[in-house]
Amino acid sequence: MNDPAVFRASALDQLLGAIARRGFRLVGPVVRDGVICYDEIGSAADLPAGWTDEQRPGTYRLRRRDDGALFGYAVGPHSWKRYLFPPHARLLPPERPPDKPFAFIGARACELAAIAIQDRVFLGGGRKDRQYQGRRDGAFIVAVNCGQPAGTCFCASMDAGPRARSGFDIALTELLGAEGHRFLAEPGTARGARVLDDVECQTARACDIAAASAAAERAAASMGRAMPGGDLRELLTESYGHPRWDDVAARCLTCGNCTMVCPTCFCFSVEDVSGLSSGDPGGNPERRRSWDSCFTVDHSYLHGGAARVSARSRYRQWLTHKLATWQDQFGTPGCVGCGRCITWCPAGIDITEEVAGIAAPHS
């Protein structure tokens, strides 16, 4: 089946079962610790039915919806990065790849764009990252188009959403209307189409397809903010001495939260642990890697000292890399407009406002 189809929400377990039977480990959204995050799921009963989120700079709150939407929220603090590039991993002796490939259930368009960016970072060069490759190979992705962006989302202005265009096996749009709770399903790959063959579906009508398009248009129109247009690479590389860097440095705590929640940030540090403290029962030493952040002083340590000792220089490094020099390295910006860095910044610093501040005329 290659044409869009429609199935009732009650048949979502048929979809999940068809994927699990093919040997995948299902990972999807769950409510935990006051947020919607990602974890292993067994069935649709584990999904955040009737929950949504309210997000502003520095604020995230769960709220009840007045319907039973299963995917009626925007992105939370987790991204799929934690499965493909885990926060901590052993490099030596190398960890074995997961025994089953992942199936990501509910990936948003901005997250597909983020995975494509990390694919270029870890797999795009001549040397491939074997740990990433072992986790990424064969991963099955069920995208769910966003119907309700958060106040901090701006994927439309980064051309990364809210509707998934590529990088998925199946894309779903959740429809909640007079005809009941349903999903429009669009296969993106042959294996996605085969999975849909195992689900009780009907061929989508023109009105179902129009309803999904209208939902995407409403979502795009309701984005909480937008990244300023223009050539951001030129703007940022020519704004080294802009006074806005001092302004943001006075607010930035250099905590690194923004880099931890970002689905594209890929910096890590490597540590050798001696046999006595490695925890290995045989007392063998280990080499480990952990997520690191350009907001830590040590991250820029060269012989003799750190290159970026001020908050000004570290924030400038992060923003300039994200939107300007990332383009030189990987051909795209390193930002997909997911808004996580805005929501989870304890100081409420907003990347779109900082760029606008730099773009504004100054004396």
Is the Cβ of residue 14 or residue 296 nearer to ligand SF4 in the bound state? 296
| 238-244, long-range: CB < 8 A, 24+ apart | 239/358, 240/316, 242/358, 242/362, 243/362, 244/354, 244/357, 244/358, 244/362
Compute the least distance from the CB of residue 65 to ligand SF4, in Å. 24
Compute the least distance from the CB of residue 265 to ligand SF4, in Å. 7
Residues at the contact surface with ligand SF4, assessed by CB under 6 A: 252-258, 261-264, 295, 322, 335-341, 345-347, 349, 351
Yes or no: say if 63 and 53 are a contact pair by the CB < 8 Å rule. yes
Is the Cβ of residue 177 or residue 346 nearer to ligand SF4 in the bound state? 346
Compute the least distance from the CB of residue 311 to ligand SF4, in Å. 7
Compute the least distance from the CB of residue 126 to ligand SF4, in Å. 26
Is the Cβ of residue 138 or residue 228 nearer to ligand SF4 in the bound state? 228
* Calpha distance 213→165 (Å, rounded): 12
Is the Cβ of residue 239 or residue 257 nearer to ligand SF4 in the bound state? 257
Yes or no: say if 347 and 253 are a contact pair by the CB < 8 Å rule. yes
Q: Which residue type occupies 255?
A: C
Compute the least distance from the CB of residue 242 to ligand SF4, in Å. 16
Beta-strand (E) ranges in 116-235?
140-144, 170-177, 180-187, 202-203
Yes or no: say if 5 and 192 are a contact pair by the CB < 8 Å rule. no
Phi, psi values for residue 141, rounded to 5°: -125, 120
Beta-strand (E) ranges in the chain?
5-8, 25-32, 35-40, 51-56, 59-64, 88-92, 102-107, 140-144, 170-177, 180-187, 202-203, 268-273, 286-291, 301-302, 305-306
Q: Which of 51, 28, 30, 49 is nearest to 142 (CA)?
A: 28
Q: At which residue do the structure tokens 């540090």 appear?
A: 269
* Cis peptide bond upstream of 93, omega within 30: yes
Compute the least distance from the CB of residue 317 to ligand SF4, in Å. 11
Compute the least distance from the CB of residue 342 to ligand SF4, in Å. 7
Compute the least distance from the CB of residue 152 to ligand SF4, in Å. 8
Is the Cβ of residue 47 or residue 248 nearer to ligand SF4 in the bound state? 248
Find all residues with CB under 8 Å of 245, minimum gap 6, and list them.
Answer: 312, 315, 316
Compute the least distance from the CB of residue 336 to ligand SF4, in Å. 5
Is the Cβ of residue 31 or residue 232 nearer to ligand SF4 in the bound state? 232
Is the Cβ of residue 131 or residue 264 nearer to ligand SF4 in the bound state? 264
Is the Cβ of residue 36 or residue 341 nearer to ligand SF4 in the bound state? 341
How big is the CA angle at 58 (ends 53 and 63), to the nearest 5 degrees?
A: 20
* Calpha distance 80→39 (Å, rounded): 10
Find all residues with CB under 8 Å of 244, minimum gap 6, and list them.
Answer: 354, 357, 358, 362
Is the Cβ of residue 40 or residue 231 nearer to ligand SF4 in the bound state? 231
